[in-house]
Structure 1
Amino acid sequence: MSNVVVRRIEIFLESEKLTYEAGLQPEKQWRLWKSDFRQQIEDTYNKLGGQAPDGLAEIEVPAYPIVFEGKAIVGNDELVYNRYAAVCLRAPFYSDIDGLNVEASLRYCRQFEVGCKKVGLIAGVWSNPISNMHFGEASDPGDFFGNGSSGWKMLAFQHLLRDMLARLDGYEVLHFSIYDQIMSGGKLLTVGELMKSPSGEHYASFVKYLRRRLGLPAVAAEKPV
């Protein structure tokens, strides 16, 4: 499922007439269970309260949102940041990912879970039959004193599987967050704020940031004099 961050990156790539693939489905998911990541996967599943280990290999790995020049590009919006995502981010796998600022992401999980609650309490996201099977019956929406959200746990776990499989597929995993900050007009603004400006100085700052992170050359206006 695409989100606003992914769509903005797609719009930029299209405006630059750059070729990319959207929603590419990972292949050969079974390789996760033959890889060195298996123990980390099982450990994280248990930390999330996993209850159906025999069905682990049946959990669907989400598509790569964007694949561009050997990079699996992920856009992280409000729904990504919560206490369960923090559990997954502490997997040793993420200590070796240059395209993700783990410490910043863990901070976002602490600071912005309220943003996740605004969009993540609906049926199917907070819980669903598959997530309940794996992580137990969810509590009432917004209640973290019981079992919490089985759906949020599943989503965070699936994101971990996706990133691991991207590595096995030979992609560099590159994360963009709605909460990352960029200097624009003499002040720090989040990517989410910058994306609201379809033109002007703030949009130019967003494009410059994208070009740098994607490894694209600076345009003439961006080059130092």
Structure 2
Amino acid sequence: MYQQKISQLIEALNIQEIMVETDFNLPVNNRLLEGKGKDLLREGFSELQGSGPFPTLRSLKIPVKVGRNLLLYDDTKHFNRYRLCTLKTSVYQVFSFSWHAAYLRMCRTHERECLLSGLQDRVWQGPPMASNCFGTAEEAGDLSGNGSPGWKLNAYNDLQYDLISRLHGFRLLRIPAYENLMISGQLQRIDKLLLNPNADLLQSIGNWLVRKMA
């Protein structure tokens, strides 16, 4: 389902005759993280109650790149208390992101949907690194105590993407599943619109994406 929606976003840009690079891989230059960058990552890791050395990504995997714009589509699993925690750290005071205020609101209001989609072991428990960094998971769905190490790792990695992309001189545009577009006089969620759009709808989505990148 995720890849289907990415494909529709790419098609919407193609209709606009926008030069798109797909599956862009950005190697992380660790020298750019020295000093303040590592302090910012350490803060986010600590706020999530991480233990041990804080990990850093080796590369960023970006589904859609347009010039210096990097586009990420965030499904329901990206909106919860842990992501809210990272969004309140100093990264977002040092750097400005156009979507930041909306993401704070969405994380506060859409955690229930995250619970519906994020209880599988691969998400709730996460990979081995999640428990190594954030401890043992509570029972799936139990956000008391240590909660979900998988969700925490996702939130920390989202923070890394935000910081690292900016340090490398890119503009990261996050497209949340909950963002609304005005279509035929009605507000409609982008995640629903991307399920089976016709040509006219793809044209509208493409126009919207171009405006976001302006």
Q: Report SS of the residue matched to 1:137.
A: coil
What one-letter code is carried by the residue in structure 2 that aligns with 1:37?
A: G
In structure 1, C-alpha distance between the alignment counterparts of 2:152 and 2:17, rounded to whole Å: 37
Aligned to 1:46: 46
Native 8 Å contact 1:73 1:176 kept in 2: yes
* Structure 1 residues 142 and 134: CA distance shift in structure 2, 3 A: same
Q: Once the 2 structures are TM-superposed, how far is the Cα of residue 3 of structure 1 from its aligned partner?
A: 4.4
Q: Once the 2 structures are TM-superposed, how far is the Cα of residue 147 of structure 1 from its aligned partner?
A: 0.7
Q: Report SS of the residue matched to 1:37.
A: helix
Native 8 Å contact 2:123 2:151 kept in 1: yes
* Runs of 5+ unmatched residues, structure 2: none
Out of 86, 93, 102, the position equivalent to 1:88 is 86
Native 8 Å contact 2:15 2:206 kept in 1: no
TM-score by length of 2: 0.87
Percent identity of equivalent pairs:
26
In structure 1, C-alpha distance between the alignment counterparts of 2:100 and 2:160, rounded to whole Å: 16
Moved over 6 A (4+): none
Q: Once the 2 structures are TM-superposed, how far is the Cα of residue 85 of structure 1 from its aligned partner?
A: 0.6
Deviation by residue 1:182-225 (Cα, 9 ceiling, x = unmatched): 2222222121232234126654432321221133xxxxxxxxxx
Native 8 Å contact 2:75 2:177 kept in 1: yes
In structure 2, C-alpha distance between the alignment counterparts of 1:207 and 1:109, rounded to whole Å: 26
Aligned to 1:21: 21
**Equivalent residue runs for 1:56-205 within 5 Å:** 56-57=54-55, 59=57, 61-95=59-93, 96-98=95-97, 100-127=98-125, 128-199=127-198, 202-205=201-204
Native 8 Å contact 1:184 1:201 kept in 2: no
What one-letter code is carried by the residue in structure 2 that aligns with 1:73?
A: L
Q: Which has the higher contact order (CA 8 A, sep 6+)?
A: 2
Q: Once the 2 structures are TM-superposed, how far is the Cα of residue 138 of structure 1 from its aligned partner?
A: 0.8
What one-letter code is carried by the residue in structure 2 that aligns with 1:40?
A: L
Aligned to 1:10: 10
Deviation by residue 1:75-124 (Cα, 9 ceiling, x = unmatched): 111111111111111123224334x3222111111211122122211112
In structure 2, C-alpha distance between the alignment counterparts of 1:15 and 1:203, rounded to whole Å: 8
In structure 1, C-alpha distance between the alignment counterparts of 2:3 and 2:106, rounded to whole Å: 18
TM-score by length of 1: 0.83
Aligned pair count reads 212
In structure 2, C-alpha distance between the alignment counterparts of 1:11 and 1:164, rounded to whole Å: 28
Native 8 Å contact 1:48 1:153 kept in 2: yes
Q: Report SS of the residue matched to 2:115.
A: helix
* Structure 1 residues 14 and 183: CA distance shift in structure 2, 3 A: closer
- CA-based RMSD of the aligned residues comes to 2.3
In structure 2, C-alpha distance between the alignment counterparts of 1:186 and 1:14, rounded to whole Å: 25
* Runs of 5+ unmatched residues, structure 1: 216-225
